[in-house]
Amino acid sequence: MKQTLVTENAPAAIGPYSQGIKSGNLVFTSGQLPVNMKTGALEADPAAAAAASMENCRAVLAAAGATMDDVVKATVFITNMADFPKINAAYAAFFRNDPPARSCVQVAALPKSAVLEIELVAVV
């Protein structure tokens, strides 16, 4: 069984995809751009961008009844590996105990010229 996740607390999809999917006990967020949902602006500062993307992921997880404690895997796409320390510090604040497995990959470009995009997988 597949449930499409929809929340007004994260950016709407900008293409033919869902904000997230829940299938059985698995929750998958689509990649979340660093849109500050309070201002609607795309965060350009790497630390602020990481925090915004993580907040957006948190909102999608909440739509499935999941929390950050349920996350088992994260994938972080960044456009500049030199930003890794700032991104890593902001990201770490969301996982105080038992952080999930993670991959971090530098990419040539992201939608809307974002500096990063983050996706999560959780088990509920």
Q: Which are the catalytic amino acids?
A: 104
Q: By C-alpha distance, which of 81, 79, 73, 123 is closest to 103?
A: 73
The amino acid present at 75, given as its one-letter code, is: T
**Residues 6+ away with beta carbon under 8 Å from 30:** 13, 17, 18, 19, 20, 60, 119
Q: Which residues share a beta bridge with 29?
A: 20
Copy the structure tokens of residue 51.
């925090």
Q: Which of 100, 89, 90, 97 is nearest to 61 (CA)?
A: 100
